[in-house]
Amino acid sequence: MSEYLATSYRPDCEYVDGELRGRNVGEWLHARSLALMASWIGGHENEWNVIGCISLRVKTSSSRVRVPDLVVLRPRVQPDILTEPPLLVIEILSPGDSYWDLQERSRDYQAMGVETVWIVDPKTRSGRVCRGEEWIGAERLEVAGTPIYVELKELFARLDQSKG
């Protein structure tokens, strides 16, 4: 793992039990949805007292480093590799993502102590809040006990407007 942590990849990849795993990035729907979600979070950072980071390495265990699309953290000095659980992990689905991979990533985040994971599928215009084994579909994704939310209708309306 130390070699992986000392190396930069373009695009970054994940480290899972000694294996480098590529991430499905670069498609329009994924990239645009991620930009819109980051803008939504960024627009509320002061109000919610949080910061959002795109593609930050997250060490979920001693043998795994994941690179979620977006994490939401409390503002404080953060390491280059996150070892404490963020408030929220957001994954935007790409056409190449599989349900099995998504479940595995969500379990890794939850094992680390992340209480809420949002899964956003721009293709089906849907979202899910993952807490434990529950994957709850919703148009408004929230983080329980915080003011953090996203209105998916608004996000997807902006996505549709950007098609040109």
Contacts of 61 (CB under 8 A, 6+ apart): 108, 111, 112
Band (164; pLDDT cuts 50, 70, 90):
low
* Predicted TM-score of the model (pTM): 0.91
Distances (CA, A) of 5 to 65, 117, 131, 163: 9, 24, 29, 37
pLDDT score of 140? 96
What's the CATH fold of domain 24-161? tt1808, chain A (3.90.1570)
* pLDDT above 80 (res 148): yes
Segment 118-137, tens digit of pLDDT: 999 999 999 999 887 788 99
Domain ranges of the chain: 24-161
pLDDT score of 63? 95
Are the C-beta atoms of 93 and 119 separated by less than 8 Å?
Answer: yes
Segment 56-111, tens digit of pLDDT: 999 999 999 999 999 999 888 778 899 999 999 999 998 888 778 888 899 999 99
